[in-house]
Amino acid sequence: MLTRSGRGGLGDSTSPHGVTVLELLFDIVYVFALARLAGRVADDLTIVRHTLLSEAGQTLLIFTAMWMIWSLNALMSSIYDTRRTDIQVLLMATMFGTLVLAVSLPQAFGERGVVFACTYVVVQIGRPLYLTLALRGHLRSRVAAGVLGWHVVSGVFWIAGGASGGTGRGVLWTVALAIEVLGAAMHWPAPWLRPGQQAGSTADFGHLAERYNQFFMIALAEVVLEAGAAVSFPGFSTTRTIALGAAFLAVVAFWRIYFYHAGSTRAATSSSAADALHLSRWASFSLLLIVGGIICTAAGFGQIIEDPDPPIDWALVVIVFGGPALFLIGRNYLEPPTASAGRCRVLFLGVLVLAVVAPTMVLFPPLHTAVAAALILTAVAIYDGLAHRGGGETNPAF
């Protein structure tokens, strides 16, 4: 029986200092989900051009919806004690719902639209509904009720979109997701909440940073999976081996920039190398860009390894170069700027180089595109390391 307050109550529980095994288990579902999303991106590259933008928009919408579930659960586990039985049941129920969503993902805008919409609404309403009831009498109940209110409103559009079809589904789901993104950006305000009482104000940001690190590594593995799978079936050849090497180089650059770029801000705020990332207010959206960029990179490299022969398609160039650009932008906003130097310009320089080089890649074979993107990322990682080498060891605890 849950108590309303006092020792042992859910409202007074605190997140454990480290990530629990259950949270690692929860992210296993996202290994499958990210693979399905990378598959959708790859499929988008092979469709006729007059439907490319609409298909890409659908993939973006689904990706953002899946991301909303993960980010809210990461926030919950950074506020409440995940060793409690009720929170564990809540996480496992969400995990199963996410698995259903991942299975429905390829046909979400087709015959499985109702399943996708209903499952999504149950997951997003069920979590804050339970917290609102379980925390009644506690201040945190009002915060959970605020989150619940936003999802009830968006849920109407999700269900309506699932029941409709064609363009109507896309429009209604876009409105639903826009409501949720707006709520998240404003920290789920409600008329009964005073400033400072929004969701996330009592989160353990060290724990949340570890969850971000963990999810980043899962996304990074997608590049390895896509590249390795693309090579496995046809086997090695000179061009495929070079493309595989380029993919590996990109993985190392992503890892190096994500973890060690932290020195640009941490050196000014902490002397401990084991500190977690100092997250910015917009960190959740920054990680959305980071993971989205990695998925695009994985799909793009996978396509080049499968078919390295010219000519190259402009859409593939956009994916291969746009993915790293999204990653660099997201990483630059993951942490707040320093008080003395503002936001670091090294990663923005990398985005500029990618933007300048990308249009020229339509003149070269696909293999050149993969190698060029990997080399630019590697150069950014090296330059970033040289620029921040005075900050010492910066790899956060994981």
pLDDT in tens, the chain (398 residues): 343 333 457 766 676 777 888 898 999 999 999 999 998 888 877 776 556 677 888 999 999 999 999 999 999 998 888 888 999 999 999 999 999 999 999 899 989 999 999 999 999 999 999 999 998 878 888 889 999 999 999 999 999 999 987 889 999 999 999 999 999 988 888 887 766 656 556 778 888 888 999 999 999 999 998 888 888 877 778 888 999 999 999 999 999 999 888 654 444 344 333 445 678 778 899 999 999 999 999 999 998 988 887 788 888 999 999 999 999 999 998 888 765 556 778 899 999 999 999 999 999 999 999 999 999 999 999 998 888 765 544 444 44
- The stretches of the chain forming alpha helices (DSSP H) are 21-44, 52-77, 85-104, 113-134, 139-163, 167-185, 205-232, 238-260, 263-269, 283-306, 314-332, 346-357, 366-387
- Full-model pTM: 0.88
Spell out the residues 6+ positions from residue 221 whose beta carbon is closer than 8 angstroms to its own.
Answer: 31
Nearest C-alpha neighbor of 335 from the set 398, 250, 394: 394
Query: What are the DSSP calls for 315-376, one per residue?
Result: HHHHHHHHHHHHHHHHHHTSSPPBTTTBS-SHHHHHHHHHHHHGGGGGGS-HHHHHHHHHHH
CA 334 to CA 47: how far, in whole Å? 34
